[in-house]
Amino acid sequence: MTESEYVRRIRSGASGKPVFFVFHGTGGNENQFFEFGSQLLPDATVVAPRGDVSENGASRFFKRTAEAIYDMEDLQRATSKMVAFVNDIAQAQQASVIIGLGFSNGANILANVLIQEGVFDASVLMHPLIPFRPAPNPALAGRRILITAGKRDPISPVALTLALETYFSKQNASVSTAWHSGGHEIQSNEVDAIRAFLHPYL
């Protein structure tokens, strides 16, 4: 593999349809959301990379030193690599729209790509955790973002979820948040919110 490649699954979609990248959580792999992504956008090209970092055998997209404490140097490496990967595939597929969906660690790499480079026209961040203050990015103006979260999530605290929502709003992105009453699990109202958010790209 080259420096911008990942182990991944890919399903080519119809001409003129979006390219849809789906990012797994810690311990997941390229299969975790591949079928889900295919169901959400049946005509899109679906791309599911596997994180290239192993944490005690669990795949992740970047290193951390403890829960909610990120290796910021490795996060930068991973973000640069993911930007190149997404752009290479989107160009090869002649993507009309670039869409991302990520859960937990997958949401975090997707969020940091947005924060630094934009890239994605529409993004679904499921239970993200950004425990630092992002720098402003005017390139986020007009981009569509859905955050889904649990009000009792011990991994992605409410305060940090709200701070991320506020950050994207201040960059003039179109951001909304769908909450459920539970923790770090995916619940049915999240899926309903995701389907509604992605409906314009069917």
Cα distance from N-terminal residue to C-terminal residue, the chain: 32
- Beta bridge partners of residue 67, listed in sequence order: none
CB 141 within 8 A of CB 161: no
- Active-site pick, 104, 123, 156, 180: 104
Sorted by sequence, the CB contacts under 8 Å of residue 94 that are 6+ apart come out as none
What is the full DSSP assignment across 90-108?
A: HHHTT-S-EEEEEETHHHH
pLDDT at 120 over 70: yes
**Mind listing the pLDDT tens digit for each residue in 175-194?**
999 999 999 999 999 999 99
pLDDT category of residue 2 using cuts at 50, 70 and 90: low
How many Å separate Cα 33 from the centre of its chain? 11
Residue 15, class by beta-carbon neighbours within 10 Å (0-12 exposed, 13-18 middle, 19+ buried)? exposed
- Whether 104 is a known active-site residue: answer yes
Mean pLDDT of 55-68: 95
**Mind listing the pLDDT tens digit for each residue in 62-118?**
999 998 999 999 999 999 999 999 999 999 999 989 999 999 999 999 999 999 999
pLDDT category of residue 3 using cuts at 50, 70 and 90: low
Q: Which amino acid is at 103?
A: F
- Active-site pick, 38, 153, 156, 180: 153
Q: Which amino acid is at 142?
A: G
Q: Which of 136, 141, 147, 128 is nearest to 172 (CA)?
A: 141
Q: 67: which 2 tokens?
A: 């829960």
Q: Which of 31, 38, 19 is nearest to 85 (CA)?
A: 19
User: Within 13 Å of residue 156, how many CA atoms lie on the same side as its CB?
Assistant: 30
pLDDT at 37 over 60: yes
Mean pLDDT of 18-41: 98
Say what the pLDDT of residue 67 is: 87
